[in-house]
Amino acid sequence: MDVQIEHSWKTVLQEEFEQPYFSAIVQTLKQEKAQKETIYPPGKMIFNAFDKTPFEGVKCVILGQDPYHGPGQAHGLCFSVNDGVKPPPSLVNIFKELQDDLGLPIPHSGNLGKWADNGVLLLNAILTVRAHQPASHSKIGWEQFTDAVIRKISERKTGVIFLLWGNFARNKKYLIDMDKHFVLEAAHPSPFSASNGFFGCRHFSKTNELLKKQNKLPIDWSLE
């Protein structure tokens, strides 16, 4: 299958694109669109995380669950929203921790594209959603694909920092070779759980410390 995705990822993931489960995902999306369902993010943005962060450039992975399901929010980067869209509560809490950890100002925009450009793969485990129906595409096969993505990173790279926020993300730890990579765990930044271990986790500074120890350039976490 000829999937429109950044070249290095296309090479790494080509065998996944040839699998029956991936054809089933594509078929499901086509059927829902034919039924006039609204699906987020827009088609050309489904693989935005990969397009903005080529395989060779991945230094850090932040794992989300599924895209925002409101109009104009999702654009293929986990926790991120388009410019001009009000940051959702979890993203507001991420910005609070960023400020407390690194002293950076609260950004005016909730667009995390700059992080992606700096080597942070902003990966949702589920890459699409029906409008106003959270987790509506959780059973169509996306997790098989994104689990493969995590495995490929684990197998073919070294020294990547995985930020796993909340139980859903933490349950993916088994996919990561802990002898080759770093895993930082915390509560989810949701208002329901941020005070139980997300605030104060200092994952942004810790990520950069781990990168410096490997003689890699730290990530510029500023968004202004």
Q: Is 66 a catalytic residue?
A: yes
> What does residue 26 show for φ and ψ, rounded to 5 degrees?
-60, -45
Q: Quick one: 8 exposed, middle or buried, by C-beta within 10 A (0-12, 13-18, 19+)?
A: middle
Q: Out of 66, 100, 179, 220, pick the active-site residue.
A: 66
Looking only at the bridges linking them, the beta strands covering 39-40 and 129-130 are antiparallel
Q: In the 3-class helix/strand/coil scheme, how is the chain assigned residue by residue?
A: CCCCCCHHHHHHHHHHHCCHHHHHHHHHHHHHHHCCCCEECCHHHCCHHHHHCCHHHCCEEEEECCCCCCCCCCCCCCCCCCCCCCCCHHHHHHHHHHHHHHCCCCCCCCCCHHHHHCCEEEEECCCCEECCECCCCCCCCHHHHHHHHHHHHHHHCCCCEEEEECHHHHCCHHHCCCCCCEEEEECCCCCCCHHHCCCCCCHHHHHHHHHHHCCCCCCCCCCC
Just list the catalytic residues: 66
